[in-house]
């Protein structure tokens, strides 16, 4: 049934006010020369569940927009690379990826033990502290004009390895939490790895054919084709219990030549709109009332894993020959946590009620701290 006119007008008024508010925040951030992401998050916190003025009617729409925002952020990140560049970066990034896993997974496991969490949720907390926010970091690098910096390939290779690791980790934890046996675990991992392998094979081996499929004289047709493909592949990956973000990233990898340049030009405005929606909705999902009880553990864990992420980025950038300033930038780039951390927390919410508030406080702290540190380290 069609919504009553007054309901439709309320939705339009709320969305219009929210988007104009985000525009004001973006202007403010631009004026002072820092990323608008922390302001989007704080705005979401103010207008979400338990906030100053909750927006209830428009949340379903904003949730969908937020999901699209993550996909477009990762797609645009993938467009920056050719298949050969991806293979090279992953190959040289494996040692840094291994270091990232060891340094940043362990603090979460240890914190879960100290806080007396259920043993299985120790490993969920490890996943929360391990994975950086690909979407937020991609947006931040683009906003600051750092995409062509010497250290950026090292940062991106770490992010890609984390996203690929999530394709294995998330199905495994879902089965373990559901009480699945060895057969279920093996099947879930087989499906996840197989899905990633197929998408990766298409992106790397038939990238030119994929690019020709999207090529057309009409910008409208190109935009519709790319946008539809990103949603379709992302949805397929999600259905197979693989990160939709990984699928969107690989669609971007598959594009090369003139069509990649057109994709940057046509999709960038959509990315900016939906990315702002993503960060706003991310803040809306956090209930401020749940934060105080877990604030101290979140701050301590955040400071520890800030140090470990900076060390990871510094070493990764050093391996590819970046100078000292570039190494520091790479480390600070990796501090922010995001979408995967919240997804992981949701998996264990029923088993350990304290996990959700801890993850929310932890992510919010680092999503403000990361961009602020990057802002004051611009050189």
Check whether 323 has a pLDDT greater than 80: yes
User: What's the CA gap between 54 and 18, in Å, rounded?
Assistant: 11
Q: Looking at residues 355-366, what average pLDDT do you find?
A: 85
Closest by CA to 71, choosing from 245, 276, 278, is 245
Q: Domain total for the chain?
A: 1
User: What's the CA gap between 185 and 174, in Å, rounded?
Assistant: 9
Say if 15 falls within a structural domain: no
Residues 339 and 132 sit within 8 Å (Cβ to Cβ): no
| Tens digits of residue pLDDT in 131-153 | 998 777 877 887 777 878 888 88
Say if 230 falls within a structural domain: yes
CATH of the domain at 233: 1.20.1530.20
Say if 6 falls within a structural domain: no
Greater confidence, 9 or 71?
A: 71
- Identify the pLDDT of residue 1: 44
**pLDDT bracket for residue 67 (50, 70, 90):** confident
Highest-pLDDT range among 146-160, 268-282, 292-306: 292-306
Q: Looking at residues 271-295, what average pLDDT do you find?
A: 81
- Identify the pLDDT of residue 359: 85
**pLDDT bracket for residue 46 (50, 70, 90):** confident
Highest-pLDDT range among 88-97, 252-261, 262-271: 262-271
Residues 194 and 356 sit within 8 Å (Cβ to Cβ): no
Check whether 4 has a pLDDT greater than 60: no
Check whether 297 has a pLDDT greater than 90: yes
Closest by CA to 35, choosing from 340, 342, 376, 364, is 376
- Average pLDDT of the chain is 82
- What percentage of the chain reaches a pLDDT higher than 70? 91
- Identify the pLDDT of residue 49: 72
Closest by CA to 125, choosing from 373, 270, 294, 288, is 294
| Tens digits of residue pLDDT in 86-98 | 677 677 788 999 9
Check whether 180 has a pLDDT greater than 70: no
**pLDDT bracket for residue 125 (50, 70, 90):** very high
**pLDDT bracket for residue 119 (50, 70, 90):** confident
Domain ranges, residue 241:
36-376
User: What's the CA gap between 288 and 52, in Å, rounded?
Assistant: 10
Say if 64 falls within a structural domain: yes
Say if 17 falls within a structural domain: no
Say if 26 falls within a structural domain: no
Say if 30 falls within a structural domain: no
Closest by CA to 106, choosing from 127, 87, 85, is 127
Say if 9 falls within a structural domain: no
Check whether 278 has a pLDDT greater than 70: yes
Check whether 54 has a pLDDT greater than 80: no
How far does CA 348 lie from the centroid of its chain? 19
| Tens digits of residue pLDDT in 327-356 | 999 999 999 887 678 778 877 777 888 888
């Amino acid at each position: 049934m069609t919504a009553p006119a007054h309901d439709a007008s309320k939705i339009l008024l709320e969305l219009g006010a929210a988007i104009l508010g985000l525009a004001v925040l973006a202007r403010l951030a631009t004026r002072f020369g820092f990323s608008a992401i922390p302001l989007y998050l704080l705005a979401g916190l103010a207008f979400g569940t338990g906030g100053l003025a909750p927006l209830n009617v428009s949340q379903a729409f904003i949730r969908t927009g937020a999901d699209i925002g993550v996909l477009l952020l990762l797609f645009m990140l993938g467009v920056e690379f050719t298949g050969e560049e991806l293979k090279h970066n992953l190959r040289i990034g494996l040692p840094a990826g291994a270091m990232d896993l060891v340094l940043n997974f362990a603090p979460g496991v240890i914190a879960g033990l100290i806080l007396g969490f259920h043993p299985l949720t120790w490993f969920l907390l490890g996943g929360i502290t391990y994975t950086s926010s690909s979407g937020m970091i991609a947006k931040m690098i683009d906003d600051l004009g750092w995409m062509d910096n010497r250290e950026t390939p090292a940062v991106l290779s770490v992010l890609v390895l984390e996203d690929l690791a999530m394709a294995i980790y998330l199905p495994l934890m879902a089965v373990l939490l559901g009480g699945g046996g060895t057969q279920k675990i093996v099947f879930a991992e087989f499906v996840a790895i197989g899905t990633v392998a197929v998408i990766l094979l298409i992106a790397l081996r038939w990238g030119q054919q994929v690019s020709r499929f999207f090529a057309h004289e009409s910008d409208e047709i190109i935009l519709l084709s790319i946008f539809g493909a990103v949603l379709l592949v992302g949805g397929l990956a999600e259905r197979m219990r693989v990160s939709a973000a990984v699928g969107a990233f690989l669609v971007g990898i598959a594009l090369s030549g003139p069509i990649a340049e057109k994709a940057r030009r046509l999709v960038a405005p959509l990315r900016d709109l939906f990315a702002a929606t993503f960060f706003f909705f991310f803040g809306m999902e956090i209930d401020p009332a749940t934060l105080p009880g877990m604030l101290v553990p979140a701050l301590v864990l955040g400071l520890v894993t800030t140090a470990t992420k900076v060390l990871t980025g510094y070493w990764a950038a050093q391996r590819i020959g970046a100078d000292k300033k570039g190494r520091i930038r790479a480390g600070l780039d990796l501090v922010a946590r995001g979408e995967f951390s919240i997804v992981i927390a949701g998996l264990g919410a029923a088993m350990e009620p304290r996990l959700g508030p801890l993850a929310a406080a932890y992510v919010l702290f680092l999503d403000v701290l990361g961009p602020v540190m990057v802002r004051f380290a611009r050189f």
